[in-house]
Amino acid sequence: MNVNNGHLICPVCSLALTHAGRTLSCEQHHSYDQAKQGYWNLLLVQRKRSKDPGDNPVMVAARTHFLDQDYYQPLADNVCAGITQELHTKTDSRLLDMGCGEGYYTAQVEKALSGMNVEMIGLDISKHAIKAACRRSKSIHWMVASGAQMPVPEQSQDLLLVMFSRLMPAAFAKVLKPEGLLILAWPAKDHLLELRQSIYKEIKISEYNPTAELATLFSCEKVDTQRFEFTLQSSQDIQALLDMTPHSQRIAADTKETLLASAPLSLTFHVNLGFFRRL
């Protein structure tokens, strides 16, 4: 998994990083060693909001188990189709998955782009997530880094994929080439509605739409809304879904017990996938 020289920048001084062996270094002699799993840790201590930021091992394991059941496969298919359509006529493209987690979507995108010359980076602030992602692919460049300060040159990426992660318009625009594409996924109002109804007395219906926040830097080409019903087949799958969301910290013990015993559990999938062009 060799990193092309100059395709990454030093998180300290922003100079180009040169790859030699298992080390990245810049002209200011800042250096970063590759972890044994194959990823690079470019997250500066001062960029951490906690000692161990991002998803913890329990959340990563839960997300891996849940996504590997392919309940969200229709969304992955939609993402792969959109990216393939965007990049199939380009040569030497660069794609960055910001907030890639344990790499479920990133790895599927890589398979969809098989045969095309695309350099792919999967970036997340959680080292536990990136360690798990390394098991999905040895050819994707996996990075522990901050999405607010992605270690890539300005205007270097043809496509930025952001699946259910924090919205940072300026950071997104900074790394995308002019007319580069941002693909952004966020929950629609009925997503996992039945789960929320079983946990909370009052349901907050979100009408969130990032289009206005992105408008000064991006034009919205389209928003595809996917909605379908799916059924969790086991209590283990229900537990995994809870553990990968903030709901696990808020659910009462008796409610959780009832919920785990309710398998098979039918739920609503309701997600927006927006395609935004860098101005």
pLDDT at position 2 is 79
**How many Å apart are CA 126 and CA 166, to the nearest integer?**
14
Q: Name the DSSP class of 4.
A: P
Confidence at 46, pLDDT banded by 50, 70, 90: low
Binding-site residues from annotation: 10, 13, 26, 30, 72, 102-103, 191
Mean model confidence pLDDT for the chain: 95
Asked whether the beta carbons of 193 and 268 are under 8 A apart, the reply is yes
pLDDT (tens digit per residue) in 74-114: 999 999 999 999 999 998 999 999 999 999 999 999 999 99
Binding-site residues from annotation for Zn(2+): 10, 13, 26, 30
* Of residues 74, 72, 56, 76, the one with CA closest to residue 248: 56
This prediction has a pTM of 0.96
Confidence at 49, pLDDT banded by 50, 70, 90: low
pLDDT at position 48 is 63
Is pLDDT above 90 for 56?
A: yes
Q: What is the chain's Cα-based Rg? A: 19
pLDDT (tens digit per residue) in 104-134: 999 999 999 999 999 999 999 999 999 999 9
Every domain of the chain and the residues it spans: 1-34, 39-278
Integer angstrom CA distances of residue 95 from 8, 55, 64, 196, 202: 13, 23, 22, 34, 40
Is pLDDT above 90 for 70?
A: yes
- What's the CATH number for 39-278? 3.40.50.150
Mean pLDDT of 16-21: 95
Q: Give the number of other Cβ atoms within 10 Å of residue 167's Cβ.
A: 13
Confidence at 241, pLDDT banded by 50, 70, 90: very high
The percentage of residues in the chain with a pLDDT greater than 90, rounded to a whole number, is 89
Contacts with 54 (C-beta within 8 Å, 6 or more apart), sequence order: 124, 125, 126, 127, 128, 129
Binding-site residues from annotation for S-adenosyl-L-methionine: 72, 102-103, 191
